[in-house]
Structure 1
Amino acid sequence: MKKLMKISRNIFMSMLTLVFFSCAENLLEKEPVSSFSAQGFYKTSSDAQSGVYGIYDAAQSAFSLNFSLWGEGRADAVSTNQSGDPFLLQENNLNPTLNSARWDNLYETISRANYAIKYVPPVFEEGEEFGLQLVGQARALRALCYFYAVRVWGDVPLILEPYESVQQDLFNTRTDAETILDRMEEDLLFAAEHCRASFGGERDRNLITQGGANALLVQLYMWRGEYTSAIAAAEKVMDNSLYQLVSINDWSKIFTQGYSNESIFEIGYNEVQTNSLRVLYALGSDSNFFPSESFRNSFEESDQRQALIYDVTAAQPRKIWKFFGEGFNDESPDPSANNIVMVRLADIILLKAEAHNQLGEVDEALALLNTIRARAGLESLTLNSAQTLYGNLETAILHERSIELCFEGHRWFDLVRTGKAMEVMGPINGLSQEANLVWPLHQDAINRNPNLVQNGFYD
């Protein structure tokens, strides 16, 4: 899945992508379809598979840097010495020219998914399993992109058909976020039913399986506060034999080697198709982010993860070891070939704990929370000790997520989802208005589309 190839583009759709998308050039495994009119391409099952692999390739570009800028840059676990997006995000001085305010790569991925969703089915007999599996992957990847778009910008254009004619309306208005999440749920339920249960080996981790679709459903349901549905989806993931928590001795390998038994879905990279993990976390004083003082001070004693995440002997650690290994000291600015883990079992376990707590099922919540704590070498919490340490069980679970999932792109969304963003970030950077929780639309998008209206806080 990590073998990469290049292909050319159709001139017509290249013109359209100047309006809406920024196209990636490197593609996964087989030669996949780029953004072009696909009417004459999808003829065989191999063509269909290549088209779907092209969606994964676009996702590589979409999340290479932004998984962290969107998920960590505005939160409390990181600090920065850098200018540009890292500094502006930390200071809560967002503006419409931020690179992280661009949605081009997300919509490029959505565009490729729309082609596959339309043109894969006619290649196969109605109801043929392989065709349904491919469409399931395409719909899940489209849902993943829209999930990020909604959480970053709120209402965004909902585009469900490929662009194939200049007669189509290129200037979409924004769609209510809840309507988009409804459609995301439909896509993920389809994927959970029709994707393969297992591909075997590494492909179970970097292709969307039934488990991956169910895990994304857990995240969606928790974002919407649908706790019973989140628990049901989480149980499907936790009952899946593909996924087990690794031991603390192998915890670093989740990120440094990839494809662990704990991983549910990760975006694959290699020495050809690379990402920005080194720039984000590994270049010492030149990296985008390093562990904040408040984050370093939030660890409980005897937490075995701490020394695996950063240099605990440094007065001010300037790099994050988590993705590269304890003692990592290579300050090369070269791009990284490490995979980006988008969702893993510990994430789902802690979300399930949170859902049980929201429903008043304290014993179930504590049992799940303590499963993650035990791996880290920490004592089990009772309701009383959780209240003593963290004020309440909800905060104890959120704190555990901040440690276990640190720098993986979850913290900002956790703060927004739980209504804690202003409480936590207000004293740090003055965040005080709900309208400020979303990003501004990039000025280029506003300039190119007269039907787009800027988010009110930035207007």
Structure 2
Amino acid sequence: MKHKLIYTCLLAATLGLSSCDKWLELKPQDGIVREEFWKTKEQVDAAVTGIYASMLGSGTTGLPPLPEYLFIWGEARTDMVTPGFRATSSELDIVNWNILPTNAFSNWRSLYETINYCNTVIELAPGVLKNDNTFTQAHLDRAIGEARTIRALMYFYLVRTFKEVPLKLTATISDEDIKPLAKSSADSVLNQIELDLTTAEPLLPTTYGNIDRDKGRATRYTVNAILADVYLWREKYQQCANECDKVINSGNFGLVGTTTSLFDALYYRGNSAESIFELQFSAQKTNSFHPMMLISTRRWGAAPHLMEMVFGQDATNIPPQEDKRGDGCSLRANDATIWKYIGANDAGTELRSQEQSFAHWIFYRYADILLMKAEAINQLNQPLEASRLVMNIRNRANALEVGLSMDSTSQENMEEFILAERQREFAFEGKRWYDVLRNAKRNNFLNRRYLLDMVSISIPKERQQVAFNTLRDENSLYFPIFLYEIQSNTLLVQNPFYK
């Protein structure tokens, strides 16, 4: 496919944002062609803004917003959601483990569009130094740091979803730059992700001096959070713990909702003291979750077993104790609505309108740091220390005893318990699939049962045996390359499971 000029993309990405109090408002100040655009520091800032705007869905591909992909990639194959009556055939096929190369959600183009914005900033922003004497090296470093961080994040989603993907590190500026590119190995992609993040860390500030920017732009702590996740995926446990400690020891983050509404702080208002990095949807740029999750147009709802088997129900106390993350926060129990994106209060009585559908997409928050560190140090045979971190999360949530009891003397028990706690803590935040896969593949798929147990809950019984047989092939755990990409790029080789 012929790509439009990147400058047109940047302009389109930024023009949709008009809020006077949001940092994403910044627009290009003059021309959109190469000779005119890369002249001033304001134009560099506008190009960086285009990176973030592309993740909100303001790009030029006409595809669903990026968070919709991240939600479906992270949740559709799990035991957390159930398809609604408006679910598409592509979504139903994912649920039923009948994924084909024609599936709409195997199209990775939205992520590569954002990657191209990043590549363009990395490649062309340095030239502005000689054109604008007010553009400092520190300003350039920050722009490069942001671009490298988001590029790394996009590739991290791609490598966990497709395993082997093309590693494109140069900008596609015009049609002349379009060249076929083969897939790179997963290790090569992950090595580049680590390089991007370790390079970006010293270039980025710890604060931009504004709460919206601190939560909506890549900071040094964003790098630490992504790196911790990457190290955990690669079983580099001490490195993971070290990155988590950088965030913990900063003193800039903490758990919210201990004395106030957890739902209101994290999901309704957003940009809480717990947040590390989240996409800044607003009244001027709403998300696509309202029609996805509203009962009258539902494509996705909460799985029916969650209150009983995940969050728990108290049948002994009057009034009953409740996990703060359950009914009225993650979901509305009486109709299985995924509440954290379209609810307006923690009583479960008021919905956001379509015009109010601007719940942020949270990539990382402080609870994730604590639980990633717990998982890492447990793998280093420190289950007692891991249990203390987990208890911080559970105490904040007023968690109930559900299923497996925690044994702080057992590494094996704590591994499973932490996985279950992440299920409760990050319900519908696009993490469940990756969490289960990460734990299942550890030690050469020693705990494949995590996947089997999840599938036994998530799909109809008549399809379970087919799914169990599918799971025996590790390539089935990754998406196919979209058929159009295979047809238009002769160097791409399809995931072996889908040949």
CA distance in 1, matches of 2:49, 2:114: 11
1:136 to 121, 125, 145: 145
Letter of the structure 2 residue corresponding to residue 47 of structure 1:
Q
**Other-structure match for 1:52:** 48
CA distance in 2, matches of 1:38, 1:277: 36
Measured after TM superposition, the shift of residue 164 of structure 1 is 3.4
**Other-structure match for 1:92:** 97
SS at the partner of 1:372? Answer: helix
**Other-structure match for 2:445:** none
CA contact (8 A) 1:151 1:413 kept: yes
Assess, with a 3 A threshold, how the Cα gap between structure 1 residues 32 and 94 changes in structure 2: closer, same or farther: farther
CA distance in 1, matches of 2:188, 2:363: 24
CA distance in 1, matches of 2:16, 2:167: 26
Measured after TM superposition, the shift of residue 240 of structure 1 is 2.1
SS at the partner of 1:120? Answer: helix
CA distance in 1, matches of 2:406, 2:279: 38
**Other-structure match for 2:224:** 214
CA distance in 1, matches of 2:68, 2:122: 27
The Cα offsets for residues 130-189 of structure 1, whole Å up to 9 and x where unpaired, read as 110110000001111111111111111111111235554521111111101111111111
SS at the partner of 2:363? Answer: strand
Question: Which residues of 2 match residues 21-420 of structure 1 at below 5 A?
Answer: 26=16, 28-32=24-28, 38=34, 40-61=36-57, 62-81=65-84, 82-124=87-129, 128-164=137-173, 166-168=175-177, 170-200=179-209, 201-248=211-258, 249-252=260-263, 253-281=265-293, 283-284=294-295, 286-296=297-307, 297-300=309-312, 301=314, 302=321, 303-307=323-327, 308-312=329-333, 314=334, 317-323=335-341, 324=343, 325-326=345-346, 327-330=348-351, 336-378=357-399, 385-386=406-407, 392-419=413-440, 420=448
CA contact (8 A) 2:383 2:408 kept: no
Measured after TM superposition, the shift of residue 270 of structure 1 is 1.6
CA contact (8 A) 1:73 1:89 kept: yes
Measured after TM superposition, the shift of residue 192 of structure 1 is 1.5
The Cα offsets for residues 364-389 of structure 1, whole Å up to 9 and x where unpaired, read as 101100000010113799x9743899
Assess, with a 3 A threshold, how the Cα gap between structure 1 residues 260 and 388 changes in structure 2: closer, same or farther: same
The Cα offsets for residues 176-229 of structure 1, whole Å up to 9 and x where unpaired, read as 111011111111112211111101221100000001111111111111111000
SS at the partner of 1:74? Answer: coil
CA distance in 2, matches of 1:56, 1:67: 15
CA contact (8 A) 2:379 2:411 kept: no
Letter of the structure 2 residue corresponding to residue 100 of structure 1:
F
Letter of the structure 2 residue corresponding to residue 117 of structure 1:
I
Assess, with a 3 A threshold, how the Cα gap between structure 1 residues 38 and 219 changes in structure 2: closer, same or farther: farther
Measured after TM superposition, the shift of residue 295 of structure 1 is 2.5
Measured after TM superposition, the shift of residue 333 of structure 1 is 5.7
**Other-structure match for 1:5:** none
CA contact (8 A) 1:78 1:295 kept: no
CA distance in 2, matches of 1:338, 1:194: 29
Measured after TM superposition, the shift of residue 37 of structure 1 is 6.2
CA contact (8 A) 1:373 1:380 kept: no
SS at the partner of 2:72? Answer: helix
SS at the partner of 2:276? Answer: strand
Assess, with a 3 A threshold, how the Cα gap between structure 1 residues 379 and 286 changes in structure 2: closer, same or farther: closer
CA distance in 2, matches of 1:54, 1:204: 17
Provide TM-score, normalisation by structure 2. 0.81
CA distance in 1, matches of 2:186, 2:306: 32
More deviation, 330-339/260-269: 330-339
In the alignment, structure 1 segments of 5+ residues that lack a partner are 1-11
Assess, with a 3 A threshold, how the Cα gap between structure 1 residues 116 and 351 changes in structure 2: closer, same or farther: same
Measured after TM superposition, the shift of residue 310 of structure 1 is 2.3
The Cα offsets for residues 402-438 of structure 1, whole Å up to 9 and x where unpaired, read as 0011000100010111115532334244242311111
Measured after TM superposition, the shift of residue 331 of structure 1 is 7.9
CA distance in 2, matches of 1:228, 1:391: 18
Assess, with a 3 A threshold, how the Cα gap between structure 1 residues 339 and 93 changes in structure 2: closer, same or farther: same
| CA RMSD in angstroms, aligned pairs only | 3.0
Aligned length: 441
More deviation, 93-102/83-92: 83-92
The Cα offsets for residues 225-245 of structure 1, whole Å up to 9 and x where unpaired, read as 110000000000112232111
Assess, with a 3 A threshold, how the Cα gap between structure 1 residues 329 and 99 changes in structure 2: closer, same or farther: farther
In the alignment, structure 2 segments of 5+ residues that lack a partner are 18-23, 58-64, 315-320, 441-447, 460-466
Q: Percent of counterpart pairs with the same letter?
A: 31
CA contact (8 A) 1:38 1:119 kept: no
Assess, with a 3 A threshold, how the Cα gap between structure 1 residues 255 and 379 changes in structure 2: closer, same or farther: closer
More deviation, 203-212/80-89: 80-89
CA contact (8 A) 1:280 1:288 kept: yes
Assess, with a 3 A threshold, how the Cα gap between structure 1 residues 391 and 265 changes in structure 2: closer, same or farther: same
Assess, with a 3 A threshold, how the Cα gap between structure 1 residues 69 and 447 changes in structure 2: closer, same or farther: same
Measured after TM superposition, the shift of residue 247 of structure 1 is 2.2
More deviation, 422-431/49-58: 422-431
CA distance in 2, matches of 1:91, 1:285: 23
CA contact (8 A) 1:277 1:335 kept: no
Provide TM-score, normalisation by structure 1. 0.88
CA distance in 2, matches of 1:189, 1:32: 29
CA distance in 1, matches of 2:386, 2:362: 24
SS at the partner of 1:269? Answer: coil
